[in-house]
Chain A
């Protein structure tokens, strides 16, 4: 297992377009998290799943954002009708949901909305 994988690494899109990002967590991890990070700020929590169930969504996650984890393995984050303010790094992390070994983050998807 090579850790948490995110695809694509970079995405440039025009305002108003829809974009979808994919995250493949560590296979034995049952929890998966999405974060957004803008320049100079710490990551902001968006949502997380335990297996296929979405347990919590941040108020940051507007109606234009939707996340799924259909079979409890990989997850997708879709942004509809992108706005310039959506430009950020989107990070995915996974964990076992217990224990002190921490959460493993992917390298992120850098979204630029022009």
Chain B
């Protein structure tokens, strides 16, 4: 399974756009890139998944360059409630196998 590297922490202010980049240099052909969000004392929550180019949903956008060795999660106009840990995962998640979590990025949104 591909190893991921992401910043340990980030700070932002309400209303700003936040971009969290994840490196996954040894991503395999069948691998998808999936992001999860976790609040304290809760389980992780699925945010977005993509394979290549750009994916957008009501919560976030995911940008994946052509070489797929990195990806960027973009959160538009963050609010205080977006303060959480964000995990980037890489794997063949469409086949229902295990997810491997790294340490994640702790995002702190300030007023």
**Measured between C-beta atoms, what is the minimum distance from B6 to chain A in Å?**
11
Report the Cα distance A101→B94, complex, angstroms: 8
A43 & B101 in contact (Cβ 8 Å cutoff): yes
B96 A108 Cβ-Cβ under 8 A = no
- How many interface residues does chain B have, given as a range? 20 to 34
B93 CB contacts on chain A under 8 angstroms = 100, 102-103
Report yes or no: A98 in contact with B43, Cβ–Cβ below 8 A. Answer: no
A interface residue numbers (CB < 8 A to B): 4, 31, 33, 35, 40-45, 48, 50, 56, 89, 91-93, 95-108, 110
Interface residues of B (CB under 8 A from A): 32, 34, 36, 41-46, 49, 85, 87, 93-96, 98-104
Task: Return 17 A-B CB contacts under 8 Å, by A number.
Answer: A33-B98, A33-B99, A42-B102, A42-B103, A42-B104, A43-B99, A45-B100, A91-B44, A92-B43, A98-B95, A98-B96, A100-B93, A101-B46, A102-B36, A103-B93, A108-B41, A110-B41
